[in-house]
Amino acid sequence: MAASCELVDVEPPELQFPFELDKQISCPLRIANKTERTVAFKVKTTSPKKYCVRPNNGVVRPRSASVVVVTMQAQIVAPPDLQCKDKFLVQSVVVDDGLSAKDITSQMFLRDENNMVEEVKLKVSYVMPPEPAMEIAEESDIPKRILVPMQRILDNGRSGSELSSGNVSLRSAEMGTELGSPLGRFVRNEDMLKTASPVVETRVHAGPDEQYLELSALVAKLTEEKKSALEQNRKLREELELARRQASQHQGGFSLAFVLVIGLLSIILGCLVKK
């Protein structure tokens, strides 16, 4: 309910400032003329150094309203229990219809028998600032959080080497955990990477979101590349083992030939000595 007198209605009846340290805070004040005559107003405060009022006076035409902005200067100390004793006073008086705001003087608001000045008193209160809205990740945002780190791995050309070394699952898990993605619960090692695909596929069937389809395709692609890399590693190990065996056989054949040559030379030397 607006604070009211016979000339004007003032809203709100109490100025409330969401108090924050080191921050200027503004509160609008609406002054509505209820009469068929022109009314001049003036706004005063008990703490003029603490508040800035723009405009602090003005003229309101019949059946119209004017808005005043009250700004509290930045405060460096919070009052105990956010209690405030500051007050505002809105004075109003009937003036000539042709009067403008620049013609207003302080003498117009002096009370006497011929000058009826009405006043509306307003209290000031501090309230707690509104809590910031918590960012709750929607389920549709989860695939984006998973796709971004995986796509970066592919773009950087590291997918082949990291898959072959078994690091892509760990990196994906770490990056997914940093971004708040639940992927970290599924891909902490190579074996658990295989479980990521069925989990994602199950979620895809739960809803026709295109992002889930992209995620499923990407995880399947990564899984296939990992299997291919592991198969290549297995083949390389087999080839290396075969090469080692062949080298060992060559070394063994060389030793046998050397023994035969030494034996033959010994026989020849023995025959020569006997002669």
pLDDT per residue as tens digits for the range 70-127: 999 999 999 988 899 999 999 999 999 989 999 999 999 998 888 899 999 999 999 9
Q: Which long-range contacts (CB under 8 A, 24 or more apart) does 208-215 make?
A: 209/140, 209/143, 211/140, 211/143, 211/144, 211/147, 212/143, 214/143, 214/147, 215/143, 215/146, 215/147
Closest among 93, 99, 88, 96 to 118, alpha carbons compared: 93
Whether 57 has a pLDDT exceeding 70, the answer reads yes
**In a domain? residue 21:** yes
**In a domain? residue 165:** no
| 111 lies in the same domain as 223 | no
Number of compact structural domains in the chain: 2
Please name the residues in contact with 175: beta carbons below 8 A apart, sequence gap of 6 or more: 149, 152
**In a domain? residue 175:** no
Task: Say whether 89 sits in a helix, a strand or coil.
Answer: strand
pLDDT at 228: 84
Average pLDDT over residues 12-35: 95
**In a domain? residue 46:** yes
| 119 lies in the same domain as 224 | no
| 219 lies in the same domain as 110 | no
- Between residues 262 and 12, the one the model is more confident about: 12
**In a domain? residue 263:** no
| 117 lies in the same domain as 214 | no
Domain final position from 72, 105, 127 = 127
| 214 lies in the same domain as 112 | no
Domain final position from 70, 101, 127 = 127
Indicate which CATH number applies to the domain containing 45.
2.60.40.10
**In a domain? residue 77:** yes
Domain final position from 127, 162, 188 = 127
**In a domain? residue 61:** yes
β-pair type (118-127, 14-18): parallel
Q: What is the tens place of the pLDDT at every residue in 198-233?
A: 544 444 444 556 667 777 788 888 888 888 888 888
Give the integer Cα–Cα distance in Å for 143 and 133: 23
Q: What is the tens place of the pLDDT at every residue in 142-195?
A: 555 555 555 555 555 554 444 444 444 444 444 444 444 444 443 444 454 455
Domain limits at 102? 3-127
- Between residues 136 and 236, the one the model is more confident about: 236
pLDDT at 113: 80
In percent, the amount of the chain with pLDDT more than 90 equals: 40
pLDDT at 254: 53
| 115 lies in the same domain as 17 | yes
**In a domain? residue 22:** yes
